[in-house]
Structure 1
Amino acid sequence: MDVSHLDHILDRLPDTSENVYGKGTLTSVMSGYIAAADEVRVPYRVAKDSRDRRYVQLLRRDGSHMADIEPVLLPGCSVATRAICNNKISTATILQQKGVRTPFTSVYTAEDIDRALGEAFRHAPQVVIKARALTLGRGVFLNVTRDNFREHFTACLNAQKKTRQPDVLVQEMLPGFEMRVTVVEGAVDNVLVRIPAYVVGNGRSTISALIDAKNLKRSKCAFFGKKLIARDHNLRSYMQAYSLEFSQVPEQGERVLLSSISNVSYGGETAIVTDLVSDEIKDIALRAVAAVPGLRTAGVDVMAENFNSYSPVVIELNSFPHANLSIYPYFGSGTNPFTRFLRAVYAEDALLRGVIDEIAPDDQHFLTNYQKFYALKDRLELEMVAR
């Protein structure tokens, strides 16, 4: 991502007023589901597993058990399905077999650094290096070139010191910016654009001072307050690559991109852009979820060069999406995938039990969504066999 992409995003957002969330903000996924269950008034119990982690037992009207929302596993998603999504190579293989475009991806061990260097740049002049065992943007290095490949490869291994067998995932660096498409039970709920850390100049303050000012403002928000712009290795590497100095004074209104990592944990910002993006972006996300056996709900990370892209690329699938980001975007209004999920699974359960009268009129459309989604799964399977 570069400044032209940053301009493309910010110039098209209908609302760039920064949200400030106060007390009562839901910061965990499980809290989101509990609050959603209260909102849609479905019966449930909160229990704890053998590791003392909370999970939600969903109940039917008669008190019988329907399903569990486990710490990292949703109803309808098997352990095998989750394992596919957690394995980037397995995910890429299945998506490619089903005709969903993905970047070149390969996994290496510490002993493979020479082979990795030899293979990494066959598809693109820059690559992404990711710590396979870590999440939330940890151990991720973007814009890696042949010159600094060994440095970042080693840093990625060091970030996984507590891992028994650290692996390094090397992925083709794609042009554009990242969006998270949240698919809920076979239908697109929302598209969230992820914006890496940046500052806007005022003609007086240095980049360092602008970072401090932005962090101070951000710290007053309950959801983003601990997710500040950090002057870490990634930020410094990005600034060095683009000849940026903390002492520089950007001009009035000048936007200065500080990183390529769009995770909010590193000072990134978000906005719901569902109505701004092309149908192709939504369609490829839906096809990606349909491609994976047993998957119905997921966060799909997509790269595109603009909101109108006709050729987006899927870079990752998350079978237990952190949908809190959709509720609390940095800019503009949010949406609640948790309530949509509960309404959908309860509607399907009622259908399967033959008690259609339990399905509220406003929830009938979920059954149509399921029907279309299962038909898509079947079509992708037939297309794969026909290739």
Structure 2
Amino acid sequence: MSHKKWLEHLENSTPSTVSGDKLSIYSIALEGWRRGLNLKFFTIKRRQKHLIKYSLSDTEKEITFSYSTGPNVTAEAMNITSSKTKTKEYLNNVGVPVPKGKNYMKHANEEIITDVSRSLIFPVVLKPASGKMGKGVIANIKTAEELKTSLLHVREYLGFKGVIVEEYIPGEEYRIYVIDGKIIAAMNRLPANITGDGERSIRKLIIEKNKQRKQIPSVRARPIKIDAEVTRNIEAYEYTIDSIPAIGEKLLLRKNSNISSGGDPVDVTDLLNEQVKDVAVKAAKAVPGLVETGVDLIVDNRDNSGKVIELNTKVGLGGHLFPLEGKARDIPKAIIDYYFPNSKRITTDLYFNYTKVTGLLKNGVLQEVTLPSIPNEEVIVKSIIVKGKVQKVGFRNFIRIKALYCNVNGFVKNDSDGSVFIVVAGTREKIANFEELLRTKYPKRVNIDSIEESVWNGPVEYGFEIIADSKNTKKK
């Protein structure tokens, strides 16, 4: 799938196996590697788990990242933001507007309901005191009976004993990415939804929406699941899963807007008013050592003011990089600019296979993988069609050996017309050396009638591969 407002240098370089949270790691690592920085992936043991981390380095320093977060985000900042209660205290101290509410750790559910009924006006929002990805967040609770049911679900079924109940703010929820006091991106996360066409049932519309999501890296592994919550919300429209909504009728299938539960990321960076932007920057500065953060806030429909609901240190970048609507924002560039201000991107013609690299670490074959650095030289990419007696004579293997010898990247494959198709990427000198061997040193069983060269428009995976005949690689 192509999207005019996605980042071309990233869209065409993202393997189909990279999606969701992996996009954050891959996109930052790729940006640094393309600048000629040394890239290393390695494993560490923590809490009986093997975690994969990665580092980027130049001749002066090495920066180790955890997920999307660099080392300048302090342990203190992470500790504070991991608690919604502590976060709210720090925000209150500097006058950042937040929703009114109260934290409950040990109170019985009936006591909470009585207390809330006295101190807050329904509707309200219930959320775990700690947690992430929107798990356990229930918004727009309108009655004490709904609150009772929600408390049982969050505390007994999900296991969150500490909860927060706060005022429900009618408005849109946004995730704003801030680094070093600067706003780089803002995203509106719409709850899982479908739009009627007057012909298909809700079930079929969900299936079709999930097919579309599979084509988008940020959401391809995050389908809309038909569960009890979705069923309840459908019933609230007085529909069943097999009802047929009218043309243009939009149904919200969940109350929370998290991408992980089927939400749609929509870029709104250029649409936020200055007051809301100021609130986001002030919120990021409220916590010491929080130089990178995702600020979650709601813009109140009643007065267009922004109220902060959460600060995040491990920020998922996928929705900003591959939004369903709007313009993609290059957060990886901003991160590498911050940690390596003197570095510049050398090429966008090469990428590496994240899944292959990390697979060696996950299965325990290796504990550390360092990718070869990109030399600070122009990279060119060519496609080459070789015609003649070139199939079933060991020609592809010859090409792979010579490509590796000349240190060029790309692939070779047989075409159905009997020719061999090659793509090579490398410096001008290395490609010239490869072409010389191709024309003069080929095996005796090979008989070359012609060699045609043209430009290959698109990035190439690092390394050189023989593609099996059954695979179909499009010529660009």
The two structures have a TM-score, normalised by structure 2, of 0.63
Q: Distance in 2 between matches of 1:324 and 1:216?
A: 18
Cα 1:300–1:159 shift into 2, 3 Å = farther
Match of 1:92 among 88, 91, 94: 88
Match of 2:340 among 330, 341, 346: 346
1:315 counterpart = 2:292 = no
Cα 1:273–1:56 shift into 2, 3 Å = same
Cα 1:168–1:297 shift into 2, 3 Å = same
- Secondary structure in 1 aligned to 2:311? strand
Post-superposition CA distance 1:293-343 (Å, at most 9, x none): 11111000111146x964111111002211222111122331221221121
1:23 counterpart = 2:13 = no
Cα 1:290–1:205 shift into 2, 3 Å = same
Whether contact under 8 Å (1:40, 1:339) holds in the other structure is: no
Instruction: Report the counterpart of residue 4 of structure 1 in structure 2.
Output: none
Q: Which has the larger radius of gyration?
A: 2
More moved, 92-101 vs 229-238? 229-238
Measured after TM superposition, the shift of residue 94 of structure 1 is 1.1
Instruction: Report the counterpart of residue 354 of structure 1 in structure 2.
Output: none
Cα 1:260–1:23 shift into 2, 3 Å = same
More moved, 105-114 vs 202-211? 105-114
Match of 2:329 among 310, 332, 335: 335
- Secondary structure in 2 aligned to 1:193? strand
1:209 counterpart = 2:185 = no
More moved, 79-88 vs 120-129? 120-129
Instruction: Report the counterpart of residue 57 of structure 1 in structure 2.
Output: 55
Q: Distance in 2 between matches of 1:275 and 1:290?
A: 22
Post-superposition CA distance 1:241-281 (Å, at most 9, x none): 45443343221112222222111122111121111221122
**Which runs of no fewer than 5 residues in structure 1 stay unpaired?**
1-13, 348-357, 361-387
- Read off the aligned partner of 2:189 and give its amino acid letter: R
Q: Distance in 2 between matches of 1:185 and 1:53?
A: 27
Q: Distance in 2 between matches of 1:113 and 1:72?
A: 37
Match of 1:287 among 273, 282, 285: 282
The two structures have a TM-score, normalised by structure 1, of 0.77
Whether contact under 8 Å (1:323, 1:336) holds in the other structure is: no
Whether contact under 8 Å (1:48, 1:55) holds in the other structure is: yes
Measured after TM superposition, the shift of residue 284 of structure 1 is 0.8
1:324 counterpart = 2:318 = yes
1:127 counterpart = 2:120 = no
Cα 1:223–1:73 shift into 2, 3 Å = closer
- Read off the aligned partner of 2:169 and give its amino acid letter: L
Whether contact under 8 Å (1:109, 1:168) holds in the other structure is: yes
Q: Distance in 2 between matches of 1:243 and 1:177?
A: 24
Cα 1:71–1:190 shift into 2, 3 Å = closer
Spell out the pairing of 1:1-387 with structure 2 (5 A cutoff): 23=16, 25-27=18-20, 28=22, 29-51=24-46, 52-62=50-60, 65-71=61-67, 73-109=69-105, 111-121=107-117, 122-145=119-142, 146-161=144-159, 166-305=161-300, 310-347=304-341, 358=342
Measured after TM superposition, the shift of residue 190 of structure 1 is 0.8
Measured after TM superposition, the shift of residue 198 of structure 1 is 1.5
Q: Distance in 2 between matches of 1:285 and 1:202?
A: 38
Post-superposition CA distance 1:157-202 (Å, at most 9, x none): 23434xxx73223232110121110002220001111111111111
- Read off the aligned partner of 1:322 and give its amino acid letter: G
Q: Distance in 2 between matches of 1:313 and 1:40?
A: 38
- Secondary structure in 2 aligned to 1:147? helix
Give 1 or 2: higher helix fraction: 1
More moved, 40-49 vs 268-277? 40-49
Q: Distance in 2 between matches of 1:185 and 1:339?
A: 13
Measured after TM superposition, the shift of residue 213 of structure 1 is 2.2
Root mean square deviation, CA, Å: 2.8
- Read off the aligned partner of 1:316 and give its amino acid letter: E
Whether contact under 8 Å (1:110, 1:157) holds in the other structure is: no
- Percent identity between matched residues is 23
Instruction: Report the counterpart of residue 379 of structure 1 in structure 2.
Output: none
**Which runs of no fewer than 5 residues in structure 2 stay unpaired?**
345-476
Q: Distance in 1 between matches of 2:100 and 2:237?
A: 25
- Give aligned pairs, total: 329
- Secondary structure in 2 aligned to 1:50? strand
Post-superposition CA distance 1:102-149 (Å, at most 9, x none): 012333246431222123343331222223443222222222232211
- Secondary structure in 2 aligned to 1:53? strand
Cα 1:157–1:72 shift into 2, 3 Å = farther
Instruction: Report the counterpart of residue 351 of structure 1 in structure 2.
Output: none
- Secondary structure in 2 aligned to 1:280? helix
Question: Following superposition, which runs of at least 4 residues in structure 1 exceed 6 angstroms of deviation?
Answer: 19-22
Cα 1:44–1:204 shift into 2, 3 Å = closer
- Read off the aligned partner of 2:88 and give its amino acid letter: A
Cα 1:116–1:125 shift into 2, 3 Å = same
